[in-house]
Amino acid sequence: MKSRLFVVFMVLLLVVSVFTVSAGAQKEAVAEKPLIGFITNGPYEFWTYSAAAVEILKKDLDIDVEFLLPPNGLPEEQKRFIESLVTRGVDGIGISVTDPDNVTPFLNEIMETVPMVMFDSDAPNSNRLAYVGMSNYAAGRMAGQAVTEVLPNGGEFMIIVGRLDAQNAIERRQGMIDELNGEPYVAQYPGKMTPNTPNLKLGGGKWTLLETRTDGGDQSKAKSNSEDAILKFPQMDLMVGMWSYSSPAIISAVADAGLLGKMKIIGFDMENELLQAVKDGNAYAALGQDPFTYAVRTIEILAKKARGEAVSIPADKLIDVPALKITGQNIDEVWGKYKAQLSDGNKYLEATK
Amino acid sequence: MKNEEKPSSIGHDLPEEYVLEVKNISKSFPGVRALNDVSFNLKVGETLALVGENGAGKSTMMKILAGVYVPDAGEIIIEGNAVSIGSVERATQFGVALVHQELNLCDNLSIAGNVFLGREPRYRHLKKVIDFDKMNNDATEVLNRVGLHLNPSIILKELPISSQQLVEISKALSINAKVVMFDEPTSSLSEHETEQLFKVIRDLNQNGISCIYISHRLGEVKEVADRVIVLRDGKLSGSLNKNEIDRDKMIRLMVGRDIEKMYEKRHLVTDKVRLQLEDLIVPKQARFPVNLSVRGGEIVVLSGLIGAGRSELLHTIFGVDKSWGGRILLDGKEVTIKKPVDAIHAGMVLVPEDRKLNGLVVNMEVDNNIALPGLCDNLSKKGFIEKRKVAELAERMVQKLDIRLFKTTQFAESLSGGNQQKVVLAKWLAMNPTLLLLDEPTRGIDVGAKAEIYKLLEDLAQLGVAILVASSELQEVLGIADRIVVMCEGRITGELDPASCSEEDIMKLATERLV
Amino acid sequence: MNKNNRMIEYIRSMKRIGGITFLLSLIILVTAIINPQFLSSYNIRNILRWTGLFGLLSLGAAFVVITGGIDLSIGSVVGLIGSIAAYLMVHAQWPVWVVLIFIIVLSATIGLIHGLLITKIHMQAFVVTLCGLFVYRGLARYLMDDRTQGYGTGFQSVRFLASGRLPSAFWTDGQAPKFILNWSIPMPFILLLAIAVLMAIVLNKTIYGQHLKATGRNECASRFSGIHTDNVLIIAYVISSTLAGLGGLLFSLDLNTVQPSSMGNMYELYAIAGCVVGGVSLRGGDGSILGVILGTAIVRVLYNAINVAGVSTQLEQVVLGLVILIGVAADEVVRMIAAQRKVRESMILAQKALEKSKQAET
């Protein structure tokens, strides 16, 4: 009996919280300005950078933007947000789709009246205007480029990643391999995968990918994998961390081994640890996503569409926001920008809470 | 040891002082009235025996005094003060200790660790740390009092069962109790150890400590008790002073009728040997190959103390434990029995000791319980159960065994102990066995149901079924057996003819240990 | 006599540990032959550090397992406490010592709640701690907004607990002799040893330890002996969660980043694996602290050995599972053979006695 009461209480709590959120979303709308909805895939810090863009875009484009973070990152929450935006007469919606396979019919229905742009996470089979995002494959090519810069005379390296069955890991790794092999450049993932065999010779034997070691998402496993690699391959020149926590784990292992500065490091994503290492000269490059630009491109397209202006969209409807390659040369500038965006974004989120 | 200054003779004959008075105690469990308005008292330095059939309420009474159960009504007075015991700890504080019937020890701890469990001696300045030296020394002292001269730091599981029992007794002695209760303390002791125990009890009495002694070995009661009270069906049925203690009087008070009528032998033993064991090796416990035969229509009873290896032998015959060697012959032909299903196919069934654990699925209906073993054979068609056949079978067995129930679809747990046991029997008799193995078939059921089960065994023997029973109740052993086989520590120590032997003869063989 | 007893007890416990030590030596030997680098000071240091970190979790789990229970929430507690510690020090800027006290109290409270639910509401330990596994993981993600927590370059003094080494740290100028520098022991392992000594005393010398073993083996008998079995169980869960919390702190200090959604995932299983390999029976009542540490070391060495010996990354869990399985099975088989030999011996003895008595008759 007691436990049943508890469940009822929890459900009530959930309902109330949803109401408060959607009530907040239904604040007074000014009729004349176009209203654009921007829905993320969850409440993550990543989106704070996007929030920073909203304030600027509101002024520059003279529009209203509703910036919505689904509290649990659930498809239902995104659905509810969309429905309440439509009731308010929204003029365009940007969304990072959490469950593309199942919500596509619903999105298509909405898109009969309201135009949509997907960002970061696509629903490729929907009737969206465009998809704005980073090609992981292109980012991999960029990382490969960085390898040629840091090891111009060739060398041996190692990849540390969570799982190799994740699409972003496959694309990033493949991009690196193709770049080092000197394949002709394409921006989108060509769909092949080089198997994970040890001592993969690349660029005609100039570079060697010693191994790609997985840790299943466990940070401390990532660190011990790095340590074991340092032990096993004393001649290794470079380590590449492919997931956000991979590079901090590598940096920690390299620091413990007393090899900071000697062992080269390249990492993906903009973890503070990695940026600090780039700044200190302990890592060569970081390949960061650019959520600020995601928001800019998405909202620009939607605002133009709302005003009936012409929008140029490529035929494949894919708009690539390239990764930011951060090295010792631009670290101060980029990091400064990130920090500024972060504080602007936080201010915006605080104000609209 | 508070009473040391008193003259040592005071305990026995002068009734002035009661250490314990029990007034109008009642206690019910779901479905059973275990105790009904029981009153008695205990003088300083006397030994009071509490006797009664199984299920008469003796153990419940003990557990109330030991603080395990709380009585529903009534009053307990210790040294003139009304107290509510309520917990084992408080019982210990009041100086009441219980020597359990079932071993209640932790076999991963040392002897000393068990004796002082919950009351470990500690260092004066380190209150949380055990003073192992003191503990071992104190334990040695207590162990000496029960005649157990062993190193107290030996881990308990390395001791034989009889020594473990003495550890249990030492544990009760070590709290300096005013009242020590013994619940069937001799069920696994040899004659010598029993005498040692009686000496301990007399020493306690000399020192002004009172004892309550539960046993259904009436000979022992006569020897050790100053006074006897008898319980029947949860009620006090009588009290006997030292000079009145007499076997027949006690039995009359216990069962309320003449015991002889319970057993009536009509069956005839055939010549055909049904079960023959040749050098059968029972795993782990038995150090000796077993040779034994049971003929058709014969009731052979395995007797012995707790831990004599009787259950293990039955389990090995039935394939619960795989034998380590030897041969089993049924009707002259060798059978390989690796698991119970082989045994069932060979035509034998086992009624296990713990009916709630191994005999029945207690939260299943009576009819489904009865049908369980035969489901694969003749109660189902292509894997589907035929409800009608199940119901018919259940109905037939319920009538045949006179199981008293409301309907065959009621849960087995809602029946009384005796009727539950009949359901277990029904379940196996439905298989039409030619060899019936029973392990303590009448433990914990009332006298009436016992008589009915004896009659049932009698009927089966008349039909030519071979029956092998393990039983600890000597009355029962002498009453139903055609032949008594006595075991001790896994070894068959002898065979007796019930017509010409006494309980003492059985006990002698049951304690014939190899040293 | 007492001295003699202690010798006997010691030898008896060594017998139990003997198998594990043999397994550990075997793995070390085989790996060292395949790759001699395995025995380098760098690698040994790493193994010791990981053994220290995971050993703390195993020690806590051992107390619960000895009671016959289980604690599935350890990994989530590691994640929760690890991220809270980083958040409070870096973002909330609480003083380090306040944070330390706070997280110890917090993790002890978690264990207290588990213990109360198990003993007073009579819930099964499996259920309670399984729910804990979900709740603390979710709580960590919610409280941290799924943001990765880290210490940056600061907090060197407290990070010494996880990444420091002794005695090389005594040379404050960093100019310790090379030998000492190479063979200094990582702090987590020193902490593990200190706590293990404490726990060994608790388990073997104190009243609590005695009651723990008794309750784990025979709860009924323990209650009848006047032991507050409820309190014994509650304290076991408090110890487990507290050590998990401490482990969480050290893990976060060592890795320097904590992802609330993944940090500590599955660590409860590593902890229990360490116990099982170390001879702690899941049936309750049996276990030794040294065994738990050796068991944890086996799991860590195995992981390291798989990498160093060059086994494919996909196969490492297979190897880990099989080695644990074979190790524990071998232990059981050896015991079975010993028991059978005992029986055979006594049968021969009995036969001889029988023959003798027959001879005496004739």
Q: Where in chain B is the domain with CATH 3.40.50.300?
A: 16-257, 268-346+432-514
C202 → chain B, closest CA residue: B129
In whole angstroms, how far apart are CA A157 and each of A170, B133, B193? Answer: 17, 63, 78
C208, C226, C285 ranked by CB distance to B128: nearest: C208
* Closest chain C C-alpha to A129 CA, distance in angstroms: 31
Q: CB C207 to CB B129 under 8 A?
A: yes
pLDDT of residue B54: 65
Residues 6+ apart with CB under 8 A from B430: B370, B371, B373, B374, B393, B397
What is the distance in angstroms between the Cα of C214 and the nearest Cα belonging to chain B? 6
Cβ proximity of B507 and B329 under 8 Å: no
More confident residue, A300 or B306: A300
- Chain C residues touching A44 at Cβ < 8 A: 145-147
Poorest-pLDDT segment among A152-156, A177-181, A232-236, B5-9 = B5-9
Taking each helix axis as running N to C, give the angle between helix B387-401 and helix B417-429, from 0 to 180 degrees, rounded to the nearest 10.
120
C221, closest residue in chain B (CA to CA): B104
**C-chain residue closest to B151, CA distance:** C5
Q: Do chains A and C touch (3 or more CB pairs under 8 A)?
A: yes
Hey, which residues does A118 pair with through a beta bridge?
Answer: A95, A131
How far B398 CA sits from the closest chain C CA (Å)? 37
Cβ pair A231:C43 closer than 8 A: yes
Nearest partner of A294 among A44, A25, A38, judged by Cα? A38
Query: What is the 3-class SS of chain C, one letter each residue?
Result: CHHHHHHHHHHHHHHHHHHHHHHHHHHHHHHHHHCHHHHCHHHHHHHHHHHHHHHHHHHHHHHHHHCCCCCCCHHHHHHHHHHHHHHHHHCCCCCHHHHHHHHHHHHHHHHHHHHHHHHHCCCCHHHHHHHHHHHHHHHHHHHCCCCCEECCCCCHHHHHHHHCEECHHHCCCCCCCHHHHHHCEEHHHHHHHHHHHHHHHHHHHEHHHHHHHHHHHCHHHHHHCCCCHHHHHHHHHHHHHHHHHHHHHHHHHHHCEECCCCCCCCHHHHHHHHHHHCCCCCCCCCCCHHHHHHHHHHHHHHHHHHHHCCCCHHHHHHHHHHHHHHHHHHHHHHHHHHHHHHHHHHHHHHHHHHHHHHHHHC
| B109 touching chain C per CB within 8 A | yes
CB contact under 8 A, B151 and C1: yes
Q: C118 near C128, Cβ under 8 Å?
A: yes
* Coil, helix or strand at residue B112: helix
Contacts of A221 in chain C (CB under 8 A): 303
Has residue B81 got a pLDDT over 50?
Answer: yes
Angle at B235 between CA B232 and CA B237, to 5 degrees: 65
> Which residues, at least 6 apart from B9, have a Cβ–Cβ distance to it below 8 Å?
none
What percent of chain B is modeled with pLDDT above 70?
A: 90
Nearest to A27 by CA among A70, A71, A69, A65: A65
pLDDT in tens, A47-62: 888 999 988 898 888 9
Torsion angle defined by CA atoms of residues B153, B154, B157 and B158, in that order, rounded to the nearest 10 degrees: 180
Q: Which of A30-34, C53-57, C111-115 has the lowest mean pLDDT?
A: A30-34
Query: So what's the pLDDT on residue A284?
Result: 95
Q: Where are the beta strands (DSSP E) in B387-470?
A: 435-439, 466-470
Residue of A nearest to C53 (CA): A220
Give the neighbours of chain C: at least 3 Cβ pairs within 8 Å: A, B
A322 preceded by a cis bond (ω within 30 of 0) = no
Fold held by B268-346+432-514: Rossmann fold (3.40.50)
Q: Residue B66's CB: how many other CB atoms inside 10 A?
A: 23
User: Per the structure block, which two tokens stand in for C173?
Assistant: 């100028």
> Taking the CA atoms of chain A, what radius of gyration do you get in angstroms?
22
B319-345 pLDDT, tens per residue?
888 888 888 999 988 988 888 888 888
Q: Tell me whether B150 touches chain C (CB under 8 Å).
A: no
Question: For residue A19, what pLDDT is reported?
Answer: 59
Count contacts between A and C (CB, < 8 Å): 96
Residue A165 tokens read as 């069955």
Predicted local confidence at residue A253, as pLDDT = 93
Nearest Cα of chain C lies from the Cα of B108 at a distance, in angstroms, of: 7
Closest chain B residue by Cα to residue C285: B108
Do chains C and B have 3 or more beta-carbon pairs under 8 angstroms? yes
Question: In chain C, what percentage of residues exceed pLDDT 90?
Answer: 46
Q: Do A223 and C254 touch (CB under 8 A)?
A: yes
Taking CB atoms and an 8 Å limit, are C221 and B106 in contact across chains? yes
At B226-263, the pLDDT tens digits run 999 988 878 888 888 888 888 778 877 876 655 556 67
Minimal CA separation from C209 to chain A, in Å: 32
Q: Which residue has the tokens 């391999």?
A: A177
DSSP state at residue A224:
H
Interface partners of chain B (CB pairs < 8 Å, 3 or more) are C
Cβ–Cβ gap B120/C210 under 8 Å? yes
pLDDT of residue B7 exceeding 50, the answer is no
- Rounded Cα–Cα distance for residues C191 and C185 (Å): 10
* pLDDT tens figures, B168-178: 888 888 887 88
Check whether C5 has a pLDDT greater than 60: no
For chain A, the distance separating the N- and C-terminal CA atoms, rounded to the nearest angstrom, is: 37
Per-residue pLDDT reduced to its tens digit, B392-447: 888 888 888 888 887 888 888 777 777 888 888 888 888 888 999 999 888 767 66
C148 interaction partners in chain A (CB closer than 8 Å): 45, 244-245, 271
Q: Which residues of chain C have a CB within 8 Å of the CB of B488?
A: none
Q: What's the confidence (pLDDT) of residue A6?
A: 66
Distance from the Cα of B159 to chain C's closest Cα (Å) equals: 15
8 Å CB contact of B104 and C208:
no
Q: How confident is the model at residue C241 (pLDDT cuts 50, 70, 90)?
A: very high
Q: How many CB atoms lie within 10 A of CB B431?
A: 16
Answer whether A252 sits within 8 Å of C150, measured CB to CB: no
Closest Cα in chain B, distance from residue C7 (Å): 11
Percent of chain A with pLDDT over 90: 42
Of C207, C224, C350, the CB nearest to B288: C350
To test the contact with chain C by mutation, choose from B287, B290, B291, B488 the residue with the greatest count of C C-beta atoms within 10 A, namely B287
**Longest Cα–Cα distance in chain A:** 72
Task: Please give the Cα distance from C140 to A216 (Å, whole number).
Answer: 20
C83-106 pLDDT per residue, tens: 999 999 988 999 999 999 999 999
Nearest to B305 by CA among B450, B436, B493, B482: B493
CATH fold, domain B16-257, is: Rossmann fold (3.40.50)
Amino acid at B267: H
Q: What is the per-residue DSSP string for A31-57?
A: SSS-EEEEE-SSS-GGGHHHHHHHHHH
Of B108, B151, B289, Cβ closest to residue C286: B108
Residue C181 sits at the chain A interface (C-beta within 8 Å): no
The tens digit of pLDDT for each residue in C278-295 reads 888 888 888 889 999 999
**Mean pLDDT score of chain C, rounded to an integer?**
87
Instruction: Determine, for residues C262 and A43 on separate chains, whether the beta-carbon distance falls below 8 Å.
Output: no
Q: Is residue B279 less than 8 Å (CB to CB) from chain C?
A: no
Exposed e or buried b per residue across B355-387, where buried means at least 16 C-beta atoms within 10 angstroms of its C-beta: beeebbeeeebbbbbbbbbbeeeebeeeeeeee
